[in-house]
């Protein structure tokens, strides 16, 4: 019995399917967290922070830092390895202005097998902090932090070659809050 579609004519279709499947796998490994589903909270929030610095803007920002200043040179070196910094934060006047579903819209993206939860802090009084890393065998390619309490939600997403020791220098810069990451253990005197 002769095939209706000879192998030669099926190759373009197979190639197209391969490209499509590769794109889906690559998208599943994307360290960029989508936060647009939280945008509706801005109408309820008393304060909103929305930072979107992509790779192009990261390179422009790196030019602002002075190579002659030791601290600025260190930040510039760190920023040069990054592909993006994204922060979305909402602060509310009263409790109950956001739902568990709002948090779940972010968490569901972090359940991808490429992400590993490395910190999970829960407190009935102080809220919760979750820290996730996306990495391969040799380097970290993404960091995500989800912090929430009764009156605030903050999502931080840093993309690129993330060095946790150097990352502490970015706390307080580009809208990134203090993440509580210590680069070296403190010595007891």
Distances (CA, A) of 106 to 76, 118, 126, 145, 157: 29, 16, 20, 10, 11
Threshold 0.85, pTM exceeds: no
Question: What integer pLDDT is reported at residue 24 of this predicted model?
Answer: 38
pLDDT beyond 90 at 133: yes
Angstrom distance (rounded) from CA 86 to CA 132: 15
**Domains of the chain by residue range:** 33-170
pLDDT tens-digit profile of 86-118? 999 999 999 999 999 999 999 999 998 899 999
Question: What integer pLDDT is reported at residue 165 of this predicted model?
Answer: 67
Question: What integer pLDDT is reported at residue 39 of this predicted model?
Answer: 97
Angstrom distance (rounded) from CA 146 to CA 107: 8
Higher per-residue pLDDT: 22 or 80: 80
Q: What's the CA angle centered on 168, arms 166 and 171, to 5 degrees?
A: 130
Question: What integer pLDDT is reported at residue 43 of this predicted model?
Answer: 96
pLDDT beyond 60 at 84: yes
pLDDT tens-digit profile of 17-76? 333 433 333 344 689 999 999 999 999 999 999 999 998 888 887 788 888 888 888 778
Angstrom distance (rounded) from CA 120 to CA 150: 17
Burial class (CB within 10 angstroms; exposed 0-12, middle 13-18, buried 19+) of 160: buried
Closest to 153 (Cα-Cα) out of 88, 82, 101: 88
Q: Up-side HSE of residue 182: CA atoms within 13 Å toward CB?
A: 4
Higher per-residue pLDDT: 97 or 161: 97
Average of per-residue pLDDT across 161-173: 66
Question: What integer pLDDT is reported at residue 158 of this predicted model?
Answer: 92
């Amino acid at each position: 019995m002769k095939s209706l579609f000879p192998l030669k004519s099926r190759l373009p279709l197979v190639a197209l399917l391969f490209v499509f499947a590769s794109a889906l796998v690559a998208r599943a490994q994307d360290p960029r967290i989508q936060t647009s589903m939280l945008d509706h909270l801005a109408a309820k929030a008393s304060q909103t922070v929305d930072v979107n610095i992509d790779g192009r803007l990261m390179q422009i920002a790196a030019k602002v830092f002075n190579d002659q200043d030791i601290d600025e040179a260190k930040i510039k070196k760190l920023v040069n390895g990054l592909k993006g910094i994204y922060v979305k934060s909402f602060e509310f006047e009263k409790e109950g202005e956001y739902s568990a579903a709002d948090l779940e819209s972010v968490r569901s993206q972090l359940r991808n097998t490429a992400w590993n939860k490395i910190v999970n802090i829960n407190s009935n009084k102080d809220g919760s902090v979750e820290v996730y890393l996306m990495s391969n065998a040799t380097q970290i390619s993404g960091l995500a932090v989800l912090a929430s309490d009764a009156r605030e939600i903050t999502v931080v997403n840093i993309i690129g070659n993330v060095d946790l020791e150097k990352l502490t220098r970015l706390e307080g810069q580009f809208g990134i809050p203090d993440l509580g990451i210590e680069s070296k253990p403190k010595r007891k005197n």
